[in-house]
Chains A and B, each alone.
Chain A
Amino acid sequence: MKFTDILTSAISNTFRSKLRTTLTIVAVFIGAFTLTLTSAVGTGVSRYINTQVAAMGATDVIIVSKADDAGAEGPAKYDPAAAKASSSMAGPPGSSMGMLAHSDLDEIAATSGVLHVEPVVLVAPDYIEFADQGKYELALNPNLGITQVDLAGGAQLDNPGNEPQILLPSTYLETLGMGSPDDIVGSTVGIGVTSHAGAQSSIQATVVGVQHETLLSGGSGINQNLTDKIKAIQDTGKPSNAVEGFIVATAYFDEALGTEHAQGIKDSLAAQGYTGQTIQDQLGTFQSVINGIVGVLNAFAVIALIAAGFGIINTLLMSVQERTREIGLMKAMGMGGGKVYALFSLEAIFIGFLGSAIGALAAIGLGSLLSNVLADTVLSDLPGLHIMQFDPGSVALIIAVVMLIAFLAGTLPARRAARQNPIDALRYE
């Protein structure tokens, strides 16, 4: 029997008991559909993150903080020389966050491989004001000082710069009545700051650019020049014996020396009691959370597929039973056991193929639709994020894996059919 004949008869046998085959295909469909969707979410999110990482540049910095002592038992002993948080910013719940004092900065700078260190100064301006549109709260994102952002218009911040600059998120424009990104670039906004003594004053800053809202960085960015100006006002009237501290510092290294070099620096920092993370590491944490969620969803889909595999076993066993006489007749006419095995295996594989191909197609159709709707509504603040992206390679892999599962499920019934004795089959009533 030629392969094409085995294949065509396997396919036509599949449709002999339409209802039973359809139900089995539905089971396979559900698993393949889910798996295609979850893998598309994984692909969509990781592609988005990768473009974000690429856009951020800043591949030559390590963000350094005090290693948090969450693992230690009980509170650490009080040390009057240690810096204290001067802002209200707190670490993750349940952990205390140490501050970096000037002595820490010196120590970090002395670490081999670190070119220089800049403390990230946290300032807390009161408001932002544009023309006569009123005053609004201004949230700052300290990371934007060191990264390249995904611009909707204008240019990146000039650091340290010799004039005060601000980079606004696109969501601010409408509220502040600023029009389109291109209109606003170059105009001046007022920023309100309160001194330590309690007096409020205003600083002028130039809008250099507008950034797309992203998953990873909310808030506005300001350059070093503006940071220094705000800090000068905030510190007015501050007692001179207050210990100054920073939550994080930015350590620069030579990016050309490669990732192992960066890892070496991180290790040395860890040995000294600091935590060092590159921008990629920070995004990686985010990505591993997403991967974890996708992994759990995938596990559910795989469980569905295994259940579908038992459906295939059951369907084929019934079909072997029903066709006992036919199998016996074919063997009596000289069909070898191997060919009979191939016939039933192909039937299983074909059921797997139908279920997974239809499932994948439905998932692609529905997923693309859903992804576009979401991108225009809930996720419209994150341009470029298509929550589901279908990679032809992974869709093909899913179909292949489902077909493999179907083949494995088919081995038991196919073996039973192949071993059938023609006489038992011909005597079978």
Chain B
Amino acid sequence: MKILEARGITKSYGHGPSRFDALKGVSLTINEAESLAIVGKSGSGKSTLMHLLALLDTIDGGTLRVGNIDSADIKGKDLNRMRNRDFGFVFQQFFLTPNASVLDNVVLPLVIAGVPPGERKKRGMAALEQLELADKAKNKATDLSGGQKQRAAIARALVNDPKVIFADEPTGNLDTATGAVVEDILFRLNKERGITLIIVTHDRDLASRCDRQFHVRDGLHSTADDLAARA
């Protein structure tokens, strides 16, 4: 069952002479419950591709379908509902609000969704429980270690029961051991709950744990043959 389908999508930044084509026509299909690694060199367009797939940015050319719907038709309230309900995000820099408590950070998507406070707390605590952070619920986000911060960010990503989790270098700021813990958590979610996982990474080991790898080079999809040819 296809969940995301990109056909020849392009994206450029800037205008005139400073115009830069970050994606030059990429096609990609992602199925439900699979795990996909987007790999490639720095500046190749991985994050750009992920942002487009997550509907955080709009494509310049090509087509992108989410389920059966053309992304051009997803606007306003529908777009916001999709970002809120169907997608979860994990970033390299965690992006937690420093002065708010861990629990407040985790329930942010529920607040945005308009879930009443009692249920928010219940679901937030349940998510923290899964990531073994329940005892830190009342602490400020700044008080956590790097690994704990990323676990809090994952709790936030899954609190609203998303279909897809997008993770941009989720272990980039963590040491190997802590990174491995975070990876385990993500793959467990993928196996046990069938959440589709789209991970942008430089890390070969992490990439090889995914069902599939998608290589990006200079804004284009490069096949394993290309890589072999270059090797």
Contacts and interface: CB of A to CB of B under 8 A. Distances in A.
A326 B51 CA distance: 17
Nearest to B111: A5
A242 interface: no
Contacts, number: 53
Interface stretch (A64-72, A199-207, A332-340): A332-340
Contacts of A5: 111, 114
Nearest to A9: B111
B77 A336 contact: yes
Contact of A423 (B57, B80, B85, B116): B57
Interface stretch (B89-97, B173-181, B188-196): B89-97
Nearest to A12: B100
Contact of A16 (B51, B77, B99, B111): B99
A423 B114 contact: no
Interface in A397-425: 421-423
A2 interface: yes
Contacts of A325: 95
A216 interface: no
Interface size class on chain B is 20 to 34
5 contacts: A1-B114, A16-B99, A330-B112, A332-B56, A421-B57
A74 B27 CA distance: 98
Given A333-B109, A336-B80, 20 more contacts: A1-B111, A1-B113, A1-B114, A2-B114, A326-B97, A329-B108, A332-B89, A333-B89, A333-B112, A334-B79, A334-B112, A335-B84, A335-B112, A336-B76, A336-B77, A339-B112, A423-B51, A423-B57, A426-B56, A426-B95
B83 interface: yes
B82 interface: yes
B83 A332 contact: yes
A334 B82 contact: yes
A191 to B, nearest CB: 82
Interface string B51-62: 100101100000
B149 to A, nearest CB: 14
7 closest A-B pairs by CB: A334-B84, A334-B83, A334-B80, A335-B112, A423-B57, A333-B109, A2-B114
Nearest to B105: A329
B95 A329 contact: yes
B209 interface: no
Interface of B is mostly: helix
B81 interface: yes
B102 to A, nearest CB: 15
A325 B93 CA distance: 11
Nearest to B88: A333
Contacts of B95: 325, 329, 426
Nearest to B109: A333
Interface in A312-347: 325-326, 329-336, 339
Contact of A334 (B57, B109, B116): B109
B96 to A, nearest CB: 9
A423 B57 CA distance: 7
Contacts of A333: 83-84, 89, 108-109, 112
Given A332-B56, A423-B56, A426-B56, A1 B112 contact: yes
Contact of B91 (A16, A326, A339, A426): A426
